[in-house]
Chains A and B, each alone.
Chain A
Amino acid sequence: MKEGKKFSDCKPARDRYTGYMDPIFIIRLTMGLVVATGLLQMGLVILLLRQKKMTQTEEELLESSQLKSQSILSRAMRQANRLLVTSELKGIKALSQDRLTARVLEQDFHKRLDRIENALTIQFERVAQETDKEYGEFLHNLETRLAAHVAESRKGIEAATSTVMAKTQEELGLYTENLKKAVTSQVDAEFSAVRTEIDEYRERRLKVLDERIIDVLEDVVHVALEKKLDLSEHSELIYRALEFAKKENAFGSGKKLD
């Protein structure tokens, strides 16, 4: 709640509430009047003294003027005191009236403030209730919409998941089938290559074995001939070979023989 001005800070509103003048202003006005009256009287005394100067002696004039001056000053002071008292009384009265008015105003202000507070409280409560109600409805609607949205999303996700799963399963099956074909083809190719390699290896081994057989046979024949044949028999084999060559005309004219 916004805090209002203090009551004591408020200047009295002369025109609107009471119709009296400010006491300080009155005092100042009174003092001014007293001073002006005094000065006026002094001026008159001086004027009178000048007029009597021609007729009276100097001492008489001085004495007379002093008396008159004192009388004037005395009257002025009494009048000033009266004015001052009157002004103070009026000020006190105004002050009391101001205090009374302020109290009334304060009470009125408090009443108005209470009314406004009550009205605001009621309005606030009403608005709070309405807001609470609307918020509750909003939350309810939001929950409903969210539930519907969640249900819809769930259905969509389930449908999409089912579609993806089906597609994935189909692709997986296709991939598996292709992989199986590829593996089968590769295995067949490798099996064929291995079989070819084995056959080639077998052929090579057989060839090596054949060569080895001949080597072994040659070794056996060599050892056997060394043990069984003496030098003359070796020589005889040489002559037989030469004779055979001669029969084949291997020592002919130099023409190449098959």
Chain B
Amino acid sequence: MNNNLSLILKHTYTKPDLHRRLRLVREYLEGKLFAGASETLAGFLSANGATQEDVIEMAYWGDEFFTQFSRENVYAKLKVLADEANELPILSLYVSYEPNSYETGQLGEWCRKNVDPKLLLELHIDPIILGGCAFVWNGLYRDYSLGYYLRQKKSEIAEIFEKYEKGSSS
């Protein structure tokens, strides 16, 4: 894996975050290399809809990361980055609520530690999950949610309700 991509992925765990940050890098470099823009990285990011985490993360990459790009190699390097990013494995995770950036980072860490060190998360909010999660990995959907278990135990739950109804009516 390219060192640049390894650096980017160190604190980038979701696919939207990765693509947004790559877009910001390309736009910042185009402005700086071809348009003669003199604004700082922080100024550029705040003016182009970057999140607070984007600012922190891209600042973490350091000036060395941006100075390696020149007019001659910027598009080639960015293309390599994009191609390698598209090759990364994706874990689609279905949860019942939208986790914040910290929780997203924690989930990403856990998944890279226990599933694949290069994976990217793709989070989906689905209320029927109720609790727990479901995911798609390597093209397979697996449901470990509370809603799934409730539906699996539907007949047993119905019997319990029926017994309760009969008991209460007698």
Contact = CB atoms under 8 A, between A and B. Distances in A.
Nearest to A221: B130
B9 interface: no
Interface of A is mostly: helix
Interface string B111-148: 10011100000000001101111010111101011110
A241 B137 CA distance: 14
B91 to A, nearest CB: 8
B158 A245 contact: no
B154 A234 contact: no
A24 interface: no
A238 B157 contact: no
B137 A250 contact: yes
A210 B133 contact: no
Interface string A237-258: 1111110111000110110110
Which of under 10, 10 to 19, 20 to 34, or 35 or more describes the interface residues of A? 20 to 34
A234 B114 CA distance: 20
Given A234-B96, A235-B106, A242 B133 contact: yes
Nearest to B89: A254
Given A213-B158, A251-B115, A235 B99 contact: yes
Contacts of B103: 231, 235
Given A238-B132, A241-B145, A256-B140, A222 B127 contact: yes
A171 interface: no
Given A210-B154, A218-B150, A254-B139, A242 B114 contact: yes
A213 B145 CA distance: 18
B151 interface: yes
Contacts of A241: 132-133, 144-145
Contacts of B138: 253-254
A214 B128 contact: no
A242 B106 contact: no
Given A221-B130, A246-B114, A214 B154 contact: yes
Given A234-B95, A234-B97, 16 more contacts: A210-B154, A211-B154, A214-B154, A218-B130, A221-B147, A235-B106, A235-B107, A241-B144, A242-B110, A242-B111, A242-B144, A245-B135, A250-B137, A250-B144, A251-B115, A253-B138
